[in-house]
Amino acid sequence: MATHHDTVPGSQSRASASDERSLGQLVADASRDLSTLLRGEIELAKVELKESATAAGKGAGMFGGAAFFGYVAFLMLSVAAGYGLVAAGLHPALAFVVVGVVYLIIAGILALIGKRNMKKAGPPERTKRSIDETKTMMQQLGHGDQNAGGRPQLDPSRR
């Protein structure tokens, strides 16, 4: 006895359309998942770059502070040297020298703190690692799903 599929013309083409539709759904799902994955990678990169930029900004601010106090120290030491030459050992000149040395010490401390903060700024390592892992996974999936003809293999149980 013939089945309904054997007697209805075009039933095989409808079955193929059903298979294509599920393959299309799979492709759409894979595309959506890849898009979600890429959005996640981009978000991770944004977060890492923001952290890196914050550390770089703090380091730059410390270098700016060090430059300011270095400049003030230079001015104070210059004035002190001038008074020292004019007064040859008078107390006002010594006072300017002491103030200038204190500013130099402050400038040195700020420069060291700035240098430490600048070392914190770097490339987005976690993002690079995550992208490399995703790339490796995609390559493995790409090589594992290929048959001899270079076309993706379909699961025979889904036909």
Does residue 43 sit in the same domain as residue 71?
yes
pLDDT higher at 11 or 76: 76
Read off the pLDDT of residues 31-71 as tens digits, 9 standing for 90 and up: 888 888 888 888 888 888 888 888 888 889 999 999 999 98
Does residue 62 sit in the same domain as residue 36?
yes
Specify if 13 maps to a domain.
no
Terminal CA-to-CA distance of the chain, rounded, Å?
24
Domain housing 113: 102-141
Instruction: Please say if the pLDDT value at position 82 is more than 80.
Output: no
pLDDT of residue 24: 79
Read off the pLDDT of residues 11-26 as tens digits, 9 standing for 90 and up: 555 545 555 568 878 8
β strands within 29-145, DSSP E: none
Does residue 118 sit in the same domain as residue 63?
no
Number of domains in the chain: 2
Tell me the residue type at 101: V
Does residue 86 sit in the same domain as residue 111?
no
pTM reported for the whole predicted model: 0.35
Q: Which residues contact 108 (CB under 8 A, 6 or more apart)?
A: 66
The dihedrals phi and psi of 146, each to the nearest 5 degrees, come to: -100, 135
Specify if 15 maps to a domain.
no
DSSP H helices, 88-121, are: 91-120
Does residue 60 sit in the same domain as residue 27?
yes
Residue labelled with tokens 């700020």:
110
